[in-house]
Amino acid sequence: MSSIEVRVRRFELDSGGFQERDDRIAADAAICVFINGELFRTLLASPVMIEELVVGHLRGEGVIESRDELVSVEVTPLKVHVELKGEVDLKRLTMGKVDLITTACGAAASPSELRGLGLSVASMEGSIEAESVWLMARELNLRSGTYRETGGTHAAMLFSLGGDPLFFGEDVGRHNAVDKVVGAGVLGGVEFGGCVLVSSGRLSGEIVLKAARVGVPVVVSVAGPLESGIRIAESAGITLVGFVRGRRLNVYTHEERVVG
């Protein structure tokens, strides 16, 4: 369930009094992720698309490189048991990271550590039209039903470079929303080098690094970037586009790929 109904008391400034009414708020829950029987991390997320969320988180955080490393993913209420091939050093995976990933922050490395992650520079054949980028952001907004209902979620979406919609996800956390569509792409066998990632959240270093790990060459948001996001996008060969609003957009890195 992505939203729940609650009873609220709303104060009306014009009338100077309270009114009782039913309202909907975004649902969230603590989801415990176990890898090969050991607790790996607890994610605070909207309790929908849980399998996609976990698979995308593992791929975006560099825990797995492909779907082939997954033996099984068992989703139970608020617990996900993942079995991976071979032994996994959880201490190494969580070194320097927190066990609880909140809706506001990720667990990615800093921009200065990008080289040490062994990431290849994203490549892309051809270019993408600015009109197509705008239409992708528009489609993201049109599909964000839980946000319109509650005002408490973020959304993310994967498109092909040609503008075809692939996967959509909403979550109380912008990182989780990205993880969900990445996970859907992993499970669906998508070639990320031919994709555009569109998000409603600000483009921080953590978000851009998730895209870099899977090889997405174009990352778009209706919000703005952070310095860390721009620096990682520049280093990783990612075209970073922000503030897609109205009929305008800002291109921050590798602008040669965006044409009028």
The catalytic residue positions are: 105
* Listed residue (75, 34, 38) closest to 58, CA to CA: 34
Q: Which residues pair with 75 in a beta bridge?
A: 80
The backbone torsions φ and ψ at residue 4, rounded to the nearest 5 degrees and listed phi first, read: -130, 160
**SS3 state of residue 201:** coil
- Angle between helix axes 205-214 and 174-187 (nearest 10 degrees) is 10
Q: For the chain, percent helix, then strand, then coil, each to nearest 5?
A: 35, 35, 30
> Where are the strands (E) in the chain, listed by range?
3-12, 17-26, 29-35, 38-45, 70-76, 79-84, 100-101, 128-129, 154-160, 165-171, 195-199, 218-221, 239-245, 248-253, 258-259
